[in-house]
Structure 1
Amino acid sequence: MRDDNDVPVVLLHGVGLDRNVWQRVERLLRSPSVALDLPGHGTRPPLQEPTSVTEMAADVATRMPSGPVHIVGFSLGSLIAQQIALDHLERVRTLTCVSSVCARTEDESVAVATRLQNARRDLPASMETALQRWFPDDDVADWQAQREETRPVLMANDPSSYAHAYAVFATADRELADRLPEITAPTLAMTGESDPGSTPEMSHRIAARIPDTKVVIVPGARHMLPVTHPEVLVGHLDHLLHQPERNQP
């Protein structure tokens, strides 16, 4: 049987990004980890047609290490992680939802649908808007280096593929909401206090649906926690992972 300390952590990034968003986190983790590119991202072929969270999760699951895993999803990756936790209850030891949306209200759904329309109309401008939302010029901290690091990754996206992936991000939370109570893995829901899209309220919505969920709201933080607050993220993640009495099969 694999020792709990050897159970790998599978890291899933957000829409428009790639597995490299986890580099700072991987350097800090005490557990072995594998960061995977989502379908249509990074080294994966562009998405040629509309897809679903179920299809994206199935693709990722085929590339995960065999046996039990801890799964950590960020933004779109969190929705895919939730689907994997539902589809592979026996394999997922813990689930961590970082900057995750959940059960968007009508107004929240309209807002994300508008961002999808803007991306379809003018992807570069949409990416610049996202960068300003994630790393604002007027933020208390200076995130210019992180913003410039992230820009080429966003700009390298195939427009059609990005739109297909973003459509999943814009709708899958409402598809998943009613099934979240089926998840049995100990769960961490973590987001930034100032994240306008993946709000603190959404992390509490996750906790209201998934039993045994801890909510962590990072003061002053926005969306890109793996980049801007890796130490805080890993601190809470390590606490979840290294509780042998909870992580037994």
Structure 2
Amino acid sequence: MDTLNMRTGGEGEPAVLFLHGLGATGAVWAHLTELVPRRVLVPDLPGHGPSAPLPHYSFETLTTAVARALPGSGPFLVAGHSLGGVLGLELASGKYDVEVAGVLALGVKVEWTQDDLGRAATFAARPPRVFETQADADQAYLKVSGLLGIAPADPAGLRETEGGWRLAMDPAAFGVGAPDMPALLAAARCPVVLAAGENDPMSRPEQLCALDPDAVTLTGLGHNAHVEEPAAVRALLGRFGV
């Protein structure tokens, strides 16, 4: 069975599964999980932090790895950020023998240009860059994960290697492509809440509202709203009875 590095804590069912975005680790949820009176499951996605890489990255292979790492078949509530939000919706399709009671998809990028996809493919094809100092690698980690200026680097997101430090993330993970959000939303077998920060440059609130008129705009927040203001995202979980 495939395993992922998994942070756990708390008590109470259904458990809440927190899925981070591309380039980050589960550490981004630390302050939010403290506010949740439930059992929490916080994996590092494949190819991130200490979790092993995959031979091929797609929304399906990533979701399969998450499903295999879960303790049981649920039900689970899922809170996913960016890439993690896509995986939460994929998990809610019923294709993975996991029962999902609800999905909060935060900051999902729903509109992709050919330039966007080209840049992602270029990043995916590059070998990991080696930095001379840990401080330089810290800065690179924060830029890749969108956390510069709002959170410290997670030491688990770095790896010491010959000649210095590199990001623990497998660059090939950038190659997942663009999600088919209308299809994912249509296939979800549970309630879904879409949300984005008012100032999120990647997930524009008006784009989410085009998919779902009830999508939530988080005033004054950016792409990593769960890090900037955990209580605001915690309140959205209240829609699922948490």
TM-score in same-fold range (> 0.5): yes
State percent identity of aligned pairs.
Answer: 23
1:134–1:113: structure 2 CA closer, same or farther, 3 Å change rule?
A: same
1:90/1:123 CA distance change after superposition, 3 Å? closer
- Return the alpha-carbon distance in structure 2 between the equivalents of residues 52 and 179 of structure 1: 14
In the superposition, the TM-score normalised over structure 2's length comes to 0.76
Partner of 1:131: 143
| 1:92 matches 2:91 | no
In structure 2, the residue matched to 1:37 is 44
1:80 deviation in Å? 1.0
- Cα deviation, residue 119, structure 1: 6.2
Separation in 2, partners of 1:80, 1:193: 22
Give the 3 Å change call, closer, same or farther, for CA 232–45 of structure 1 in structure 2: same
Partner of 1:149: 153
Q: Which has the higher contact order (CA 8 A, sep 6+)?
A: 1
Q: Residues 157 and 167 of structure 2 are in contact (CA less than 8 Å); yes or no, is this contact kept in structure 1?
A: yes
Aligned partners of 1:132, 1:21: CA distance in 2, in Å? 13
In the alignment, does 2:44 pair up with 1:61? no
User: Structure 1 stretches of 5 or more lacking a match?
Assistant: 137-142, 209-213, 244-249
Distance in 1 between residues matched to 2:83 and 2:62, nearest whole Å:
10
* Number of equivalenced pairs: 216
Q: Secondary structure at the match of 2:175?
A: helix
Match of 1:52 in 2: 58
Structure (1/2) with the larger strand percentage: 2
TM-score (norm 1): 0.74
Q: Aligned partners of 1:68 and 1:216: how far apart in 2? A: 24
1:221 corresponds to: 221
1:241: how far off?
2.1
Secondary structure (helix, strand or coil) at the match of 2:212 reads helix
Specify every segment of 5 or more residues in structure 2 that has no aligned partner in the other structure, as ranges.
1-11, 130-135, 159-164
- Structure 1 residue 219 displacement after superposition: 1.6
Task: Note the aligned Cα RMSD (angstroms).
Answer: 3.1
Whether the 8 Å contact between 2:120 and 2:175 is mirrored in structure 1 is: no
Aligned amino acid, residue 149 of structure 1 = A
Q: One-letter code of the match for 1:241?
A: F
Q: Tell me the equivalent position of 2:230.
A: 230
C-alpha deviation, 1:20, in angstroms: 1.2
Higher helix share: 1
- Indicate yes or no: 2:199 matched with 1:194: yes
What is the alpha-carbon distance in structure 2 between the residues aligned to residue 221 and residue 201 of structure 1? 15
Contact kept, 8 Å, 2:46 with 2:62, in 1: the verdict is yes
